[in-house]
Amino acid sequence: LLKNDVNTPQAVVNIDVLDLNIKRMNDVVKQYGVKLRPHIKTHRTPAIAHRQLAAGACGITAAKLGEAEMMAACGIKDILVAYPIVGVNKVDRLFNLACDNKIRVSLDNIEVARGISEGSKRHDMEMEILVEIEIGVNRCGVLPGNMIDFVKKLIKLPGIKFAGIMTYEGRARGAENMEEVKKRGLDEGKFIVDIADKIEKSGILCPIRSAGSTPTAPFAASIQGVTEVRCGNYVFNDVVGLTNGVASVEQCALTVVCTVVSCPTENRIIIDGGSKTFTSDMTRLPGKGFGFFPHEPELILEKLNEEHGIIRVPKGYRKIKIGEKLEIIPNHACVVSNLMEHLYIAKGEKIIGKWPVLCRGKSR
């Protein structure tokens, strides 16, 4: 089977690019003696997680328990659940997972911590906690000024072991250029180390300082005192990475192959992938559409309906025919894999495998 013959719309992963992306991040991080704990939300595919581990990752990060459960069922033992676990049912699932695996969980609220502490009592186990700090992304996180008080309260709870702290500098994805990315990464590293130092000065050990995303990890890892980075998107890269300068077109491992199904006018053609394939994620560049055509950059995927991708074709462009296959780098690769039953694996133009996205839909 060739890439051009797959049933579409279909995400195809170039295995050589994937392996190079995995190796590159591993090499960068390793030179600083920092651990790489990749976030698997990008691929939700155990076969890729195993490749990351084989290349040197220390374990994985998951957002959701469902992802963690599936990865554990596929033999992955060391998992950080980097998401607040709320409610008795989920807490019990977390402890069940921790019976046979090395599990840590992040949180930012004492109510959530109490729930975990009660779970510890029910299961007669201890749970290692990373406390998330708000770095400025306006998502989860204890405010830096409240951190020491928070940790002091946390360690009083029975069955809780404070293992360290975690940042996620999501603003770097939307950075204008590499200069801004670098600054965000270095600042993230300094920020987390500074807070860890303050916690330790207050007499509490803070062994894990987990930072980093795809853009910031190489820089955050260079700051002494950062112990772990959790990048996810780097395995595939996407249009966001092209826009902020973190990746080149050649470093984008995942593309979506679509078929031209209608050519209503000279300037408009329709492909069989819409928002149910690409999602509606935009880039920060206005007018650039919902993906990038690596072989035909003049085409713009201008609009998406659920199953229709509407492409603007420039005046005087070659005549695109019904049935042609077009390849598109999505704006955001992490949401695309979740919409696929399988990732098709290509070596050059040849399809050599089909990996099930086993954590697809496992957002509970």
Ligand X SMILES: Cc1ncc(COP(=O)(O)O)c(C=O)c1O
Q: Binding residues for ligand X, per CB under 6 A?
A: 39, 42, 61, 82, 168, 173, 213-214, 230-234
What is the C-alpha to C-alpha distance for residues 328 and 287, in angstroms, rounded to an integer? 16
Question: Judged by CB, which is closer to ligand X: 42, or 255?
Answer: 42
Lookup: tokens for 2? 């060739």
CA dihedral 340, 343, 348, 351 (to 10 degrees): -100
223 exposure class (CB count in 10 Å sphere: 0-12, 13-18, 19+): buried
Residue 154 or residue 235: which is nearer to ligand X going by CB? 235
User: Can you tell me the distance from the alpha carbon of 357 to that of 333, in angstroms, rounded to the nearest whole number?
Assistant: 13
Instruction: Give 176's DSSP letter.
Output: S
Count of alpha carbons within 13 Å of 234, Cβ hemisphere only?
Answer: 29
> Least distance from C-beta 348 to ligand X, angstroms?
27
> Cβ 187 to ligand X, closest distance in Å?
16
Nearest approach in angstroms of CB 184 to ligand X is 11
Nearest CA to 128 among 138, 137, 119, 140? 119
Please compute, for residue 182, the number of CA atoms within 13 A of its CA located in the half-sphere on the CB side: 4
Q: How far is the CB of 259 from ligand X (least distance, A)?
A: 29
Q: How far is the CB of 233 from ligand X (least distance, A)?
A: 3
Nearer to ligand X, 93 or 171 (CB): 171
Closest CA to 252 of 266, 267, 269, 238: 238
Closest by CA position to 211, among listed 26, 37, 2, 20 = 37
> Considering the complex, what minimum distance in angstroms separates the CB of residue 271 from ligand X?
26
Q: How far is the CB of 210 from ligand X (least distance, A)?
A: 8
- Give the integer Cα–Cα distance in Å for 105 and 83: 7
Q: In the bound complex, what is the minimum distance in angstroms from residue 39's beta carbon to ligand X? A: 4
Pick between residue 88 and residue 143 the one whose CB is nearest to ligand X. Answer: 143
Outline where DSSP puts E strands in the chain. Answer: 10-14, 35-36, 60-62, 78-81, 102-107, 127-132, 160-166, 208-211, 228-229, 254-265, 268-271, 291-292, 300-304, 309-312, 325-330, 342-347, 350-356
The least distance separating ligand X from the CB of residue 82, rounded to whole angstroms, comes to: 4
Q: Which is nearer to ligand X, 9 or 212 (CB)?
A: 212
Q: Identify which of residues 140 and 196 has a Cβ nearer to ligand X in the complex.
A: 140
Which one, 39 or 184, has the nearer CB to ligand X?
39
Least spacing, CB of residue 350 vs ligand X, in Å: 29
Where does residue 76 rank: exposed (0-12), middle (13-18), buried (19+ CB within 10 A)? buried
By beta-carbon proximity to ligand X, the closer residue of 320 and 335 is 335
Nearer to ligand X by Cβ, of 21 and 61: the residue is 61
DSSP 294: S
| Among 90, 55, 53, 93, CA closest to 75 | 53
Strand partners, 266: none
Give whichever of 166 and 206 is closer to ligand X, judged by the CB atom.
166
